[in-house]
Amino acid sequence: MNLAFYLLIFSFTPEIGRGSGWSREPFFAFVATGLIINAIVQTLFMPSASELTEMVRTGGLDSVLVRPLDAQFLLSMHRFDFSSMANGLVGLGLLIWAVLRFPVAPPLIAWLLYPLLIVSGVAILYGLIIMLAAATILMGRNQSLYDFWFYITNFSRYPAEIYAGPWGDPLRTFCTFVIPILLVVNVPAGTLARPLSGQAWGMVVLTFAAAGISVGLSRIVFQAALARYRSASS
C-alpha cells in the first residue's frame, strides 16, 4: 500500500526535496533498506523485548538471572519471529529492482559499506530497545514507552532532508546526534543511492560510532537496571 502511495507521489514530483538526490529509484532503495532493517529487528529482538514486561511483572525474569548466561543476550534473543522476515525479503526484492534502475551503478565501496551500515542501523535500534527494556525492569511496566518506540522509529522511515525549517532543523539535529534514529536508514541507503562525498563519509563514520555507543550504553543501562530489579512477589 505504501509503495503505491510513493508511486503516486512520484507521479507529481521527480524528487523528494529539491537537490536531495531522493528521486524515484533511490527513494525506493531507501524504503527497501528500511524494510530490511525493520525486518531484522522485528525478527530477532522485538518478540523478546515485548515479552520482557510480562517477565518482569510475573517474576519470570528471576529464572533468567540465576542461569549462567548473559541476561541481556538471553532476554533480547530468547524468541525469534521468522514470519517478520517476509518484509525483509520484499525489501530485498525492492532493493534489487531499484538499484538495477539507478542512473549510475553504486561503486564497490558502497556495496562493501552497505551491509556494515545495515548492521550498524540494527545495532542502533537494538540499543534503543534494550534501554526501553531496562526501563521496564525499573518500572515494572512500560506500555507508554513502547508507544514512544513506535513514534521515535517513525522518524527513521523518511529521508532526513524532509526535516527542515524552524521546527525541522532542531528535530533533525536531535534525531541525528542525540537519539541517532535518522542515521539508521538514511546512511546505508544514501551510501548506495548517492555519491560518497566528504559529508557522506562523515555520516558513515558517525553511524559506526553511534552503533558502538548505542550498544555500549544499552549494556550499562541494562546492568544498572538489573542491579535495581525488585522481582515480583511469589
Partner 1 sequence: MWKSPVNVAGAASLSFWPILPHMYNSSETKSDRIIEVNDLAKEYRVYDKPEGLWASVRGLFHRKNRIIHALRGVNLSVGRGEFLAMLGPNGAGKTTFLKLLSGIITPTRGTARVLGHVPWDRADDFRRRFALVMGQKNQLWWDLPAAESFRLHQEIYRIDPARFAKIHDELVDMLGVSRLLGQPVRELSLGERMKLELIAALLHEPEVLFLDEPTIGLDVVAQHTIHEFLRHIQKQRSVTVILTTHYMKDVAALCERVVVVTHGSILYDGSLEQIVDRFTTHKVVTLDLENAPAPGEMERFGFSCEVHGPRVSLRIDRSRIADVLPKLLASQQVRDVSVEDVPLEEIVAGLFRGAANRQAGIDPEQEVGAV
Name the site residues for partner 1 (rule: CB under 8 A): 58-60, 62-63, 65-69, 71, 227-231, 233-234
CB of 91 to partner 1, least distance (A): 30
State how far Cα 209 lies from the chain centre.
15
Give dist(CA 35, CA 7) in Å, integer: 17
Closest CA to 185 of 130, 107, 234, 120: 120
Nearer to partner 1, 59 or 165 (CB): 59
Beta partners for 15? 23
Give dist(CA 43, CA 185) in Å, integer: 17
Q: How many Cβ atoms from other residues are within 10 Å of residue 198's Cβ?
A: 6
Nearer to partner 1, 79 or 157 (CB): 79
State how far Cα 156 lies from the chain centre.
7
CB of 137 to partner 1, least distance (A): 12
CB of 144 to partner 1, least distance (A): 14
CB of 68 to partner 1, least distance (A): 4
Q: How far is CA 71 from CA 52, 88, 126, in A?
A: 12, 28, 15
Nearer to partner 1, 101 or 141 (CB): 141
Q: How far is CA 225 from CA 65, 75, 130, 141, 189, in A?
A: 13, 13, 11, 13, 35
Nearer to partner 1, 60 or 168 (CB): 60
Nearer to partner 1, 142 or 191 (CB): 142
Nearer to partner 1, 11 or 233 (CB): 233
CB of 148 to partner 1, least distance (A): 19
CB of 190 to partner 1, least distance (A): 42
Residue position matching grid coordinates 543476550: 73
